[in-house]
Amino acid sequence: MISVEKGYVDMPIEKGIDIKNEILRMKKEKNAVILAHYYQRNEIQDIADYIGDSLALAQIAARVDADIIVMCGVHFMGETAKILCPFKKVIVPDMNGGCSLADSCPADKFADYVNLHPGYTVISYVNTSAAVKAYTDIVVTSSNAKEIVESLPENEKIIFGPDRNLGNYINGVTGRNMLLWDGACDVHEKFSLEKVLALKKENNNAKILVHPECKKPLQLIADKVGSTQALLNFAVNDECNTFIVATESGILHEMQKRCPEKKFIPAPPEDGTCSCNECAYMKLITLEKLYNSLKYELPEISVDKEIADKAVLSINRMLDISKNLGIIK
Ligand code: 13P
Ligand code: SF4
């Protein structure tokens, strides 16, 4: 019996093997697909079949033709994939990959809040547990939140959770007055406004790219506020050749790959001497853990059926509305 007590398969890897080749071989043999979020380590992004933001990963998981989905992301991303594909095996190579934003919204407290506000439509960010999604009418990601909110009647009463910065941003750009859950992402909240302004002074022509999970003062100095995918698209398509990027620094890998001639400067966090800001949860997955997870097909995600049956409705509503609005194909 292989133990996953540590949250991942902790087995020694045979000496002398080529891990990357073995991952590719097992993937083929087992009809598995590897999905990776843009915040994963570079080598994980490079070996994945698909990389994307939260919306893209959910969409790919929903339609992919494979027996095994290896989700290189954090726990809620594995749960979302499992909810959408209950009959597929969904593996997350390190189950310790939590999310401070999802943790800021415990399901029981969220349910109390929802029950206190009858008649409200509940919109939740995808960065939530399956149990929170089960109390939700429509799931959103940062790539579609604005459009989905705008698609609802103007007088619709809405609860938006859990990210207060994204919620405030959507309220601002749509003129809505949604009730906001008071949660946040530790990584996106800790970018330093002062350090970003100092970088801008040094790089006068640079444009500032900011994820809406960041605090408002940073959003206010941004040339572009958008989801990870939207920031990537902006960097690729804009004529500017230097960008200061205020989102998890893993995205710089794809930005640099797509635009080798441009310069990308990671925005630093407030604390410490680090020049970039990483999500420790996202960086837990290594090639070794990915190799062992494929070999032993562990650790596997499971979601309580009653919760999954409710959560799938709110996730599918997001996918359906996004298709109708032309945000995804
Ligand atoms: P997106 O992938 O929707 O940009 O979300 C950012 C994030 O923090 C994912 O955990
Ligand atoms: Fe969660 Fe923030 Fe890490 Fe994304 S970056 S997984 S929101 S803690």
The answer for residues whose C-beta is within 8 angstroms of residue 174's C-beta and 6 or more apart is 146, 149, 150
Q: Is 293 helix (H, G, I), strand (E, B) or coil?
A: helix
Residue 272 has pLDDT above 80, yes or no: no
Domain residue limits, the chain? 19-97+282-303, 101-185+310-324, 191-266
**pTM of the complete model beyond 0.85:** yes
**What's the pLDDT tens digit per position in 131-155?**
999 999 999 999 999 999 999 999 9
**What's the pLDDT tens digit per position in 101-110?**
999 999 999 9
**Ligand index nearest the alpha carbon of residue 75:** 2
Of the candidates 81, 97, 190, 212, the residue with the CA atom closest to the CA atom of residue 143: 212
> What does CATH list as the number for 101-185+310-324?
3.40.50.10800
Q: Please report the pLDDT score of residue 55 as a whole number.
A: 85
SS3 for 54-112, per residue?
HHHHHHHHHHCCCCEEEEECCHHHHHHHHHHCCCCEEECCCCCCCCHHHHCCCHHHHHH
CATH code matching the domain that covers 191-266, chosen among 3.90.1150.10, 3.40.50.2300, 3.40.50.1110, 3.40.50.10800: 3.40.50.10800
**Domain 19-97+282-303 of CATH type 1.20.81.30:** no
Tell me whether the CATH fold assigned to 101-185+310-324 matches the one assigned to 191-266.
yes
89 neighbors 78 (Cβ within 8 angstroms): no
Give, using CA atoms, the residue closest to atom 10 of ligand 1. Answer: 127
Average pLDDT of span 174-179 = 97
The residues with which 125 forms a beta bridge, in sequence order, are: 140
Ligand 2 site, residue 248, Cβ cutoff 6 A: yes
Residue 275 has pLDDT above 90, yes or no: no
Ligand 1 centre to CA of 24 (Å) is: 27
pLDDT band at 329 (very low <50, low <70, confident <90, very high): confident
Q: To test ligand 2's pocket by mutation, which of 77, 104, 127, 285 has the most ligand atoms within 8 angstroms of CB? A: 127
Q: Which atom of ligand 1 is nearest to the CA of 37?
A: 2
Ligand 1 centre to CA of 281 (Å) is: 13
Pick from 107-121, 263-277, 300-314: least confident: 263-277
The alpha-carbon radius of gyration of the chain (Å, integer) is 20
